[in-house]
Amino acid sequence: MGFPGEPPRRQPYVQPDASPPAQGEHWFEPAPHGPAPHGRGPYGSDPTATAAAGPPQPPRPVQQPEQLQQPAQPERRAAPPEQPRQAMWSPYDEGPRSRRPIFIAAGGLGVLVAGGIGLAMLANSDPTPQSGTASPPARASDAPIPNNPGGKFGFAASRATDRHPLGLKEVFRSRRVTFGGQSYLMTTSRLDKKCKDAVVGSKLQKALTAGKCTQFLRASFRDASGKIIGTVGVANLKTSAAASKVAAVGAGKSREEYLKALPGKDKVTKFLGTGEAFAGGWSHGHYAVMVWFQYKDGHLPKKTEVKKLNQAAFGATDATVTPALESRSLTGKRP
């Protein structure tokens, strides 16, 4: 690579070695209004018995002392049988029944406490799978990473190990880049799926077609002074051999096969493609990298000026394309 027809001074990238239901819901409700059920009332009297006895009976003769052992009971009429009703608990009742709500409440509280302790122990337990049970399937993140195929370009040696297409933001992600103490401003970028539209020359176009080129990415830059402008391009081919052929066709003295410059809309890079330029290319695995750099006024550069063009071309490329392709070499994926 060089001007004019100089071989490129670029060395290819070398891959390093690589709760239970509630009970007692009406415990503390007041007793219903109305007569108490047949039997003993809360104060030991029986109002219904008085009402059912009928008219008063004449007084009986005085009994002897030995007959006082059993008190005389007034004669009562048989009252119609009443349906038994559930006894309501009263705070005035005495005996074991008055403590029933307390016992039930204490029992329910014990069940709740025991259930809570059991749930806590279950949550904190770490059961060991029994022998013979199948282990859960491995997650996608647990899948082993394939081994690096090795070689100079690793995964990037072929599209078979580097299947994902390149993206403009992957390669040309920053508008302003710096390399070697020099800064460069990107003014425009483009992705072509018809690779032949990004180059000049029939031989180069045929080489891209034969190499199964699927995309050609380009971006244009200007240096800080605004005097040097250029375009950097990268083609995605099937194999390393195809990329090498494309790079070889673009070299030579004929100046008939080269990267097509991509003019910008600014006042500086709009002049790209007019005048003399430093053009060439090289390969990085199954990618072919090509450059076109010139002075803004398009004059024929001197030897010292060719060196500056060379420096600007490699600087803009090493700040953009090179890191993206090196990442592909290491992982075969987008960075």
**Is position 80 within any domain?**
no
The pLDDT of residue 45 is 44
**Is position 271 within any domain?**
yes
Decide: 161 and 328 in contact? Cβ < 8 Å: no
DSSP-assigned letters across all residues of 196-251: GGGEE-HHHHHHHHHTT--EEEEEEEEETTSSEEEEEEEEE-SBHHHHHHHHHHT-
When divided into structural domains, the chain yields a total of 1
d(CA 286, CA 245): 11
**Is position 320 within any domain?**
yes
The residue range of the domain holding 205 is 154-330
The whole-model pTM stands at: 0.59
Q: What is the pLDDT of residues 78-130, one digit of tens each?
A: 555 555 555 554 444 444 444 444 444 455 555 565 666 666 565 555 545 45
**Is position 15 within any domain?**
no
Q: What is the pLDDT of residues 249-261, one digit of tens each?
A: 866 555 789 999 9
**Is position 38 within any domain?**
no
**Is position 170 within any domain?**
yes
d(CA 289, CA 169): 17
Which stretches of the chain drop beneath a pLDDT of 50? Answer: 1, 3-5, 7-9, 11-54, 61-71, 89-105, 127, 129, 131-133, 140-144
> What is the chain's length?
335
**Is position 40 within any domain?**
no
**Is position 128 within any domain?**
no
The pLDDT of residue 161 is 95
